[in-house]
Amino acid sequence: MSGNCVFCQIVAGKIPCAKLYETETVLAFLDIAPVRKGHALVLPKAHHPTLWDLPAGLGEDLLAAMQAVGRAVMAATGAEGLNVGMNNHAAAGQLVPHAHFHLIPRHGGDGLSLWAQSAYAGQEEMTGLAQAIRAKI
């Protein structure tokens, strides 16, 4: 637990939440500032700042929670779809430095745009970047 982390304080019961799901390792609750009603957060109870800090074994618990909560959010809200997203680091929009996944219910024509697309200058630029990424794996 990180003492000044708001999610760690929620996990510890020091800050209330609208809890949806809980296991020994995972907690899910409604986002206090939802993009859409039913917007839920799924997070590990242990403090890990980003996706890259999560222990591999925790992935199974997080996936099971996202599947259960996602299905329930869709059913309860009548959503036709669901976005699952995660922001890592402040530059990507992460407001709380505790790894967490957003489950956002969607309805056709709801007007929510998550990001704008861009393009590569050409195939050479794209394959060059792919090569550089592969070299870092």
Query: How confident is the model over 20-43, as pLDDT tens digits?
Result: 999 999 999 999 999 999 999 999
| pLDDT at 5 exceeding the cut of 70 | yes
The whole-number average pLDDT for the span 5-18 is 97
> Residue type for 102, please?
H
Give the 3-state secondary structure of residue 71. Answer: helix
| 42 burial via Cβ count (<10 Å: 0-12, 13-18, 19+) | buried
Q: Which tens digits make up the pLDDT trace of 90-130?
A: 999 999 999 999 999 999 999 998 777 899 999 999 999 99
Range from 1-10, 27-36, 41-50, 53-62 carrying the lowest mean pLDDT: 1-10
Mind telling me the catalytic residues? 100
Q: What is the mean pLDDT of residues 60-78?
A: 98
Res. 1: pLDDT tops 70: no
Residues of the chain above pLDDT 90, percent: 92
What domains appear along the chain, each with residue ranges and CATH number? 6-136 (3.30.428.10)
> How many Å apart are CA 113 and CA 120, to the nearest integer?
21
Give me the mean pLDDT over the 44-66 stretch. Answer: 97
pTM of structure: 0.92
